[in-house]
């Protein structure tokens, strides 16, 4: 059965068509620059990317383009073959503790959370509406980045701020990357042969977060009310004293919004190194002795290790740490330095395995705590949820 997994952003729409339950990718692609005359539609056909530049005024036209592309390239013979659509939705707040079949009411409920994710949820909704309009008889499911973390206890998700802020405005930690943390931790449980395992997932991509998973449940995660909290990322600062906002806004005559933008877009690897937000550039320059690239790397490693230490204590032990996403799957230098930074926990790196790619154990056989590379697959996770709710 064919299912589409969709990730709609404000000016882009990514999709993957999967055969389920085989979890086999049939094709994938994206529409970029939605809202512009020179939008680009890309679709993978026989392993090759086919591109087309065309005006795409809105998400509905983007979805039409995707569907026409699937028909034109004979990926599907008719629309009837598509049996379900799964939509990634960033913020589910406390309303959504599970994925859900989309109805008019569900769309309204997602809209009611727009204040918590003003950059993401409205864009996700435009994708949902476009697909509902074009495929009205097909089951559509919303899969939230936050639901996996809804199992956190209050002591993990509440900020030590006025309690009223939580009650009135929903100010608390929600966490993100939930589909990835769930996918990777479930795989780690299988590899360990232990459903009760204590696992830390390090999802290190452009956006990056850590998650502590105890017996299959998220008990803590590093992102917060927004994806800005936690470890530093490509361009995000991660944790920082909020008083910085006031100081920098006064010194640089900027609004809080502008300073917040700097913390989101000009910080992290990019801000510290002054070179790049891309881990490949950071590592390359570090190996050539570039001071600030090295500093960006060292800060990153320390902050990741800080979280791992705290999760180890919070869970009362650790069976495995799993590296995933762009950096986690592809940057041996980052994995190596993280593992060396936490070796006190009883973890030893297998240097040779660490140089390889793909799913594998990268700790030595006698290592008390195991380390794995586990490639993430958020699309498969979304398609699984569509399948589960299509009963």
104 is known as an active-site residue: no
159 contact partners, CB below 8 Å, separation of at least 6 = 165, 166, 171, 172, 173, 224
Nearest approach in angstroms of CB 111 to ligand ADP is 25
Nearest approach in angstroms of CB 10 to ligand ADP is 15
Dihedral, CA atoms, 149, 151, 153, 157, nearest 10 degrees? 20
Query: Phi/psi of residue 246, each to 5°?
Result: -70, -45
d(CA 64, CA 59): 9
What angle (nearest 5°) sits at the alpha carbon of residue 277, between those of residues 358 and 249? 145
Nearest approach in angstroms of CB 327 to ligand ADP is 4
Nearest approach in angstroms of CB 269 to ligand ADP is 7
Nearer to ligand ADP, 174 or 176 (CB): 176
Q: Which residue of this chain has its Cβ atom nearest to ligand ADP in the complex? A: 326
- Taking the CA atoms of the chain, what radius of gyration do you get in angstroms? 21
Nearest approach in angstroms of CB 262 to ligand ADP is 19
CA-nearest of 163, 172, 167, 170 to 220 is 172
Nearer to ligand ADP, 245 or 325 (CB): 325
Contact set with ligand ADP (CB under 6 A): 205-207, 234, 278-280, 325-327, 330-331
Asked if 61 contacts 31 with a C-beta cutoff of 8 angstroms, the reply is: no
Q: 145, 214, 220, 337: which is the annotated catalytic residue?
A: 145
Nearer to ligand ADP, 121 or 324 (CB): 324
d(CA 23, CA 380): 6
Nearer to ligand ADP, 182 or 367 (CB): 182
The number of residues making up the chain comes to 391
Asked if 325 contacts 208 with a C-beta cutoff of 8 angstroms, the reply is: yes
User: What is the b/e burial string over 300-335, where b = at least 16 CB atoms within 10 angstroms of the residue's CB?
Assistant: bbebbbbbbeebbeebeebbbbbbbbbbbbbbbbbb
Nearer to ligand ADP, 312 or 323 (CB): 323
Instruction: Work out the end-to-end distance of the chain between its first and last CA atoms, rounded to an integer number of angstroms.
Output: 13
Strand partners of residue 202? 210, 323
Nearest approach in angstroms of CB 203 to ligand ADP is 8
Nearer to ligand ADP, 173 or 203 (CB): 203
The residues carrying an active-site annotation are 145
């Amino acid at each position: 059965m064919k299912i589409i997994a969709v990730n709609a952003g404000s000016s882009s729409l990514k999709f993957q068509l999967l055969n389920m339950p085989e979890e086999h990718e049939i094709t994938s692609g994206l529409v970029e620059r939605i809202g512009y005359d020179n939008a680009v539609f890309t679709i993978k056909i026989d392993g090759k990317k086919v591109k087309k530049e065309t005006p795409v005024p809105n998400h509905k036209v983007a979805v039409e383009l995707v569907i026409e592309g699937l028909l034109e390239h004979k990926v599907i013979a008719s629309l009837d073959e598509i049996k379900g659509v799964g939509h990634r939705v960033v913020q589910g707040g406390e309303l959504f503790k599970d994925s859900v079949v989309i109805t008019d009411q569900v769309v309204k409920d997602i809209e009611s959370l727009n204040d918590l994710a003003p950059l993401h949820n409205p864009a996700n909704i435009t994708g949902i509406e476009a697909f509902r309009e074009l495929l009205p008889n097909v089951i559509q499911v919303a899969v939230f980045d936050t639901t996996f973390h809804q199992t956190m206890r209050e002591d993990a998700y509440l900020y030590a701020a006025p309690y009223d802020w939580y009650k009135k405005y929903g100010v608390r930690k929600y966490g993100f990357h939930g589909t990835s943390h769930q996918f990777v931790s479930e795989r780690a449980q299988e590899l360990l042969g232990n459903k009760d395992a204590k696992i830390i997932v390090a999802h290190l991509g452009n956006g990056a977060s850590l998650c502590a998973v105890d017996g299959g449940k998220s008990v803590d995660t590093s992102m917060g009310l927004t994806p800005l909290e936690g470890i530093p990322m490509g361009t995000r600062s991660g944790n920082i004293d909020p008083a910085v906002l006031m100081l920098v806004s006064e010194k640089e005559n900027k609004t809080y919004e502008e300073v917040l933008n700097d913390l989101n877009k000009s910080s992290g690897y990019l801000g510290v190194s002054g070179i790049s937000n891309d881990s490949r550039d950071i590592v390359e320059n570090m190996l050539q002795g570039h001071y600030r690239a090295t500093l960006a790397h060292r800060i990153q490693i320390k902050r990741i290790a800080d979280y791992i230490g705290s999760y180890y204590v919070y869970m009362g032990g650790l069976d495995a740490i799993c590296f995933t996403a762009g950096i986690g799957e592809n940057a041996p230098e980052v994995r190596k330095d993280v593992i060396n930074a936490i070796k006190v926990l009883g973890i030893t790196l297998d240097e040779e395995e660490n140089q390889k790619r793909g799913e594998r154990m990268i700790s030595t056989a006698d290592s008390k705590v195991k380390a794995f590379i586990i490639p993430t697959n958020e699309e498969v996770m979304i398609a699984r949820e569509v399948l589960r709710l299509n009963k």
